[in-house]
Structure formats: C-alpha cells, structure tokens
Structure 1
Amino acid sequence: MNDTVSTAPSTPTRPGPVGVPVFDGHNDLPWALREQVGYELARRELTADQSGTLHTDLARLEAGGVGAQFWSVYVSTELTGQTAVTATLEQVDCVRALLERYPERLAAATSASEVERARESGRIASLMGAEGGHSIGCSLGTLRALYRLGVRYLTLTHNDNVAWADSATDEPRAGGLTRFGEEVVREMNRLGMLVDLSHTAADTMRDALRVTRAPVIFSHSNARSLCDHPRNVPEDVLRAVPDNGGVVMATFVPKFVLQAAADWDRSLDEHLLARGIHPLATSEEARRARAEFEAEHPRPRATVSDVADQVERLRSVVGVDHVGLGGDFDGTVFTTSGLEDVSGYPALSEELLTRGWSEEELAKLTWHNPLRVLGEAERVSERLREREEPSVATVEQLDGPAA
C-alpha cells in the first residue's frame, strides 16, 4: 500500500517579499512529533492546519516563504550514551518519513546545490542538524555515520555540558573545548559538517573559532549586549565572526530577544524548580504551573520590532554578510508577538524594509548568507579530504580517563 500523501502545491513555494525565500537555521518539529504523537505522523497531518498543536505545517511554511529548513534532530540531554545515539537516529528517521510522506512539498538536501535544486522545483529544501554533542556518544565514527545519513550540522552542546565541551547553561568543566573537542571540530571540517555554536559556553565558542578551518554557524542565537542571557553571543565572539566567514542566525525565542522576557523566564524557572518540575518539562503538571505563574506575573511580550532590533544589532557588529534567521519554532513554549509560527517571516522582512534595509541586504539575511556558508564548508571539506584521513581519536586517548 502506498502511504505517501499527495500534497502538490498549486504554485511553487512562495518567496519572501524581496523575491527570495527564507533559509531557516533551526526548527524542532521532529521532537514535537515524538513528544506529541510518538512519530505517528498521521495524527499530525501537516497538510491540515496544526495551529494550536504545532508552530509548523505545510500551508504556514508556504505562507512564511520558507524555502529551506534545517530540521533539528535534537534529543534531550536527559538521554546519554547509546540511548542518546539511538534517539538521534529515530529523529533522523522521522525527518526521512516526512520527506517520504510529502515528496511534492519537501525535498531532501545535503548540499548548497541540492538546496538550490529544491528551490527550483518549488519544494522546501530539508536539511538536518543534530543539536548537542551527546548525540555522537563521544564517537567520531558516530559523527561520520550521522553525516552519511544527511546530518549537516552539529550543535556542540545543548543545555548541559558534554565530556569534551562546555554548555552556556551549565557549570564550566572543560574550560571550553578539550583536546577531543578540538578533534571533533577538525573532523567536522573534514567531513563538511557545519560547526554550530548556539548553546555553547563563550569559551567553547572562542576555542571553536580558533580551531575551525571552515565557517561556523550560530543556528539560533542573538546578541548578548541587547539581551543578557547566556544563550546569546558575547560581543568579542561576534567580532570574530566576519574573519571566520560564519553566520549568526537570529532567533525569535522571547527570552533570547528581550531582557524583560529573560528576567521573567528566570523567575518562572525558579517557580517550577521550587515545585520539583524541570523548567523544560512539557507535562500537564508543568503546563498548569506555568499558567499559574503567568496569571500572577504577566509575561512580557517580545514583538517583531524587538526581533528586528536584535537583527540590526547583529548586523552592526558582524556585518550584513554574516546574519541569518533561526526561528526555533516548535522548540519553544513561548513565542514572539507577530512571529507566533512559521508563517511570520514576512512580518520581520517588512519591518526591516521600513527601517531602510535594501532588498539585496534582506535577501542576504533570509537566504544567501546561510547558503554561502554551507557551500564554503563543502569546499573546505574537499580540500581537507585530499590530505587528511578520518580521525580515529578517542576521548580517552586525548583527554584521559573520565574522572
């Protein structure tokens, strides 16, 4: 029986307001599908309006002008070792299942040229990014296996440290990257897998920028100078991005956009922890506790204008050739007003146009910059593969036995 869902659009994917689509750096739809329906995709049919359950469906992707998407194959840091690796493979399988289910709307892409071909066919180029070094289980062989399966970036950490790299939201342990962490970056360069520095500690960012031979990305991060949250990028790191050639992809998550939202979120976390609830929990108990807190303490609302402020701050430091967008839809409980789901990108583009951005500049932000970085990583890989063998180093060899 053929279970493929016919979803042919009447017209190709709608471009953004300046004639090019959006290439977004981070969307957590696969994890939302795991959490909500256990990967039973028929229960979250993306040809239907999924407002109220998901930030993402096919009609809203088209309305938002999305032409390329890095789907995050994230797994929780509560999963470790081989359990984390297995869950990551299940996430990859979910993305593959989506591609098989909607072949006339989504196209697999693992290179810049494949992204362009998908755009020409009117389909959304679908790439994968693994979110957190725990997904490779301290194994460069696993890293290579994920690359062969189509994963094209690895976020070095998520919310917790890994054995070889410090996270932005954990107590420092490695002081940035360990020797094995540096080897992970070098092997990613050799493969052509983008080094993603969102979620990492500032010293991890600095070490990675020192070691890498290819442009890096920050798939969903903002400027710390405008919103003092450890998930955002400090000024000295931003200043190093142009020389590296990388791209910082502004995110829409309110607590990374607006200082008042960051302060409110810290208070919410304290409220949840006092009740024995993990701040990232999605249980009914967690939802009730959040609603209770918000009823007593109204939540500050970030707006499209606030996100535009972040984009402009990034541009002022790194330059227009090094900014992009990474909404983090379906990976956040709270959203920005006017950017509640994947249909909202045109609102941000229109806001930036009113602020004097040219159409050429906006096209770099929404499309050309991430596409360029992907292509440059491929070219670096071609050179390195000619002279370097795959690394067989282990964390024990380079960093010694675990404490």
Structure 2
Amino acid sequence: MSAELHRRAVVAETHNDLLMGVVARPPERWAGFFRERWLPQLRDGGVDLQVLPVFIDEQFRPEGSLRETLRMIEAAHVLAEGNADEVSLCRDGEEIDRALADGKIALVLALESAPGLDANVELFSTLHRLGVRVASIAHWGRTPLADGSGEDATGSRLTRAGVETLAEMERLGMLFDVSHLGASGVAHVLELATRPVMATHSSARALRDHHRNLTDDQLRGIAATGGVVCVNFLAGFLSADPAEWTIDRLVDHIEHVASVAGIDHVGLGPDFIRELNLELTPPCCEGMVTMAGFDVNAVVPGLDGPRGLPLVTEALLRRGHSEPDILKILGDNVHHLFQKQLGRPA
C-alpha cells in the first residue's frame, strides 16, 4: 500500500546538494555523472520535484564565490540539457507541471546563502535570468545581508542590503528561504514579507533545541505568509540522543510542524549531504561539524539518500496519517506553492 501511494504522490525534495558532486567533475562529465550517480537514486526514491541548491564551500570563499556560483548554475543547465529525456530545469509552475506530465523530474535552482553576491542586490536579477528561483541569504555565520543562526547571540536583523534583497526577490518572483537565517533575521523577514517565504531544510526546535531549527512562533509565522516548512532529515537536528536517530523521530518533527503550522504548510527538506561529504576531496564542509555541534555525516538508518524516501511514506501510514495528508507532506504543499509563486513577478 505504501509503495503504491508513494508512486502516486508528487514527491518534492527541497534540499539535496548533489550539484557539489557534479561540479567536482570535469565539465564534459557533468551530464553523464548525474545520469550515472544521481538519476537512479532520484528515480528509486520517487522524486518528482528536486530543488538544487548552489552551496559554495569554504575553499572557494570569498574570492572564488561568484565564479563557483556561476559554474554550479552552468552545471545545472548542462546536466538538464544532457538528460532532457529524464529531467527539466524549470523556472515557473507551468514548466514544473509540464515536466511532471511528461514523466520528467522537475529541477528548480536555489542559492544557499548567496556568498558570491556580497551586497550587490542587483545581481539577484542576473541570477534570476539564469533560472534561480529560490534563495537564502546566510549560512552559519555573517554575510553582508544577514547573520546565520550560528550568530544568534548578536541579535542581528537583516542589513539594509538584506532588506533590499527581500524586496527584490519578491519583485522577481523568487522564493525567500529562511533556513540557516538567524532568529532575529527570521523575525525581520516575517515582519516585512508580502509574499510567501519557505524553509527548505529546517526541523522543529520544540523537539530539538538547536539554533538551526525553527521555533513554534517561527513555524506559525511562515505559515501565515502562505509558505511551507520542509523538515530536515539530518540526525543531529532531530535529537541530541543517538538512540532517537530513527524514522519515527523524523515523523515526530513532521507531525509537530503540521500541528503548529498546519498540514498545508509542511514538506520534506532532507539535506542529503553524507555521500558528498565522504567523496569530495578536499573534504567538503569541514567547518560544519564545529558549527553544528554534531557529526553531520550521522544519518537516520535508511535515509542517507533519496532512495530512502519511500520509508517516510511507510512510516506516515504506520502512524495513521490519511492519504490526503501524506500526499500534502510528500510534495503537494511544495508543488502548490511553486505553482502559485515561482517566477511570477509581483
């Protein structure tokens, strides 16, 4: 029953850093590597809609950030063109619907913390022209636009350029992503937002008191904008106790978000990074362990990559959730948000 339901669902996955693995190969291998390494995983996991974040590792910051940002965006276009029978890089809801109707995986480009842009807000328009449709403006630390959650003690709100960025993204029809943003920054965004905002990969702070997770007030605030909170699967964000690194604990977070924000405002943002961390040389994201406070390679058994996503459907059914609610969680909520907002100018 769960397998049939999972096949029938539109499964939307809002955070997989696979572009980092693609761009680590020579350009002539980008399309082929995606087809060999990632496409089977996405198909086995039933993924229909995949957000592709552009994350710039420490080794490229600050001097090479913009160059690497452009390389990763180019890699996304190349892998989409080279696998046009299987995937489509989408700029709006109509293109997503067309891809899904054709049996293709809809890909959506996102920026994670936008380090290459500095305070040059006008470059968001440039990246919008290149197909970027979702963006966050901070990671763990400080940027010219805002502070990440690792700097919560500063109590910092958005900078002037950060405020301008939010307005520009709303004008362009880009979705603002609050994952990784500091608490005061999230509050500032929720004060100013006139269009839906989302969290692409954040769990519930009421269940795991970690600065990367969202409080109940933040969950309600995001829902009030019409946005969606996509729950992070990383074990350390679900519990401080390794004995609780289970699928049931993940479902606890999904249920909590649904109970606070509403069933129409929860989705899946797995943050599948273990494979990338283990394969990239030099090691990817070494500073993350210090900032996170736990081993970021620790995963819930079975959920180390997209192939494990059917296990979530199985667990939701086992916990007694209705099919309509499960379909919303798996992807309908994100799909509907993208249909209404993605690429639609204010």
The normalised TM-score by structure 1 is: 0.75
Provide the rounded CA distance (Å) in 2 between the counterparts of 1:16 and 1:69.
Answer: 19
The aligned residue for residue 366 of structure 1 is: 330
- Give 1:45's match in structure 2, choosing from 26, 33, 37: 33
Note if contact 1:301-1:337 (Cα within 8 Å) is conserved in structure 2: no
Select the structure that is richer in helix.
Answer: 2
The aligned residue for residue 179 of structure 1 is: 160
Task: Quote the offset at 1:333 in angstroms.
Answer: 2.6
- Root-mean-square deviation (Å): 2.2
SS in 2 for 1:162: coil
Provide the rounded CA distance (Å) in 2 between the counterparts of 1:16 and 1:200.
Answer: 34
- For 1:227, the aligned partner's letter is R
- Give 2:264's match in structure 1, choosing from 321, 324, 342: 321
For residues 47 and 80 of structure 1, do their structure 2 counterparts lie closer, same or farther at Cα, with a shift above 3 Å needed? closer
For residues 101 and 41 of structure 1, do their structure 2 counterparts lie closer, same or farther at Cα, with a shift above 3 Å needed? same
Match status 1:357 vs 2:345: no
Q: Unpaired segments of 5 or more residues in structure 1?
A: 1-13, 51-56, 262-299, 385-403
- For 1:19, the aligned partner's letter is R
Percent identical among aligned pairs is 30
- Give 2:211's match in structure 1, choosing from 227, 230, 241: 230
Match status 1:74 vs 2:55: yes
* 1:204-215 matches, cutoff 5 A: 204-215=185-196
For residues 42 and 244 of structure 1, do their structure 2 counterparts lie closer, same or farther at Cα, with a shift above 3 Å needed? closer
- Give 2:139's match in structure 1, choosing from 158, 167, 171: 158
Note if contact 1:166-1:172 (Cα within 8 Å) is conserved in structure 2: no
- Give 1:132's match in structure 2, choosing from 92, 113, 116: 113
Match status 1:304 vs 2:247: yes
Task: Quote the offset at 1:242 in angstroms.
Answer: 2.2
The aligned residue for residue 287 of structure 1 is: none
* 1:2-401 matches, cutoff 5 A: 17=6, 19-35=8-24, 37-39=25-27, 41=29, 45-48=33-36, 50=37, 57-77=38-58, 79-80=60-61, 83-170=64-151, 172-173=153-154, 175-261=156-242, 302-330=245-273, 333-378=297-342, 381-382=344-345, 384=346
Note if contact 2:251-2:316 (Cα within 8 Å) is conserved in structure 1: yes
Range moving further from structure 2, 159-168 or 120-129: 159-168
For residues 166 and 206 of structure 1, do their structure 2 counterparts lie closer, same or farther at Cα, with a shift above 3 Å needed? same
Task: Quote the offset at 1:15 in angstroms.
Answer: 7.7
Note if contact 2:177-2:198 (Cα within 8 Å) is conserved in structure 1: yes
Q: For this pair of structures, how many residues does the alignment match?
A: 323
Note if contact 2:175-2:341 (Cα within 8 Å) is conserved in structure 1: yes
Computing the radius of gyration from Cα coordinates, the structure with the larger value is 1
Provide the rounded CA distance (Å) in 2 between the counterparts of 1:171 and 1:77.
Answer: 21
Task: Report Cα offsets for 1:40-77 as digits up to 9, x if no partner.
Answer: 526973444x4xxxxxx212211111001001111125
- For 1:128, the aligned partner's letter is L
Provide the rounded CA distance (Å) in 1 between the counterparts of 2:30 and 2:59.
Answer: 28
Task: Quote the offset at 1:301 in angstroms.
Answer: 6.5
For residues 256 and 103 of structure 1, do their structure 2 counterparts lie closer, same or farther at Cα, with a shift above 3 Å needed? same
Provide the rounded CA distance (Å) in 1 between the counterparts of 2:23 and 2:5.
Answer: 30
Task: Quote the offset at 1:34 in angstroms.
Answer: 3.3
Provide the rounded CA distance (Å) in 1 between the counterparts of 2:10 and 2:48.
Answer: 5
- For 2:324, the aligned partner's letter is E
For residues 39 and 233 of structure 1, do their structure 2 counterparts lie closer, same or farther at Cα, with a shift above 3 Å needed? farther
SS in 2 for 1:72: strand
SS in 2 for 1:27: coil
- For 2:164, the aligned partner's letter is E
Task: Quote the offset at 1:166 in angstroms.
Answer: 1.0
Task: Quote the offset at 1:127 in angstroms.
Answer: 0.8
SS in 2 for 1:127: strand
- For 2:166, the aligned partner's letter is V
Task: Quote the offset at 1:21 in angstroms.
Answer: 2.4
Task: Quote the offset at 1:16 in angstroms.
Answer: 5.1
For residues 119 and 213 of structure 1, do their structure 2 counterparts lie closer, same or farther at Cα, with a shift above 3 Å needed? same
- For 1:218, the aligned partner's letter is A
Provide the rounded CA distance (Å) in 2 between the counterparts of 1:201 and 1:39.
Answer: 36
Note if contact 2:31-2:83 (Cα within 8 Å) is conserved in structure 1: no
Provide the rounded CA distance (Å) in 2 between the counterparts of 1:78 and 1:213.
Answer: 36
Note if contact 2:88-2:105 (Cα within 8 Å) is conserved in structure 1: yes
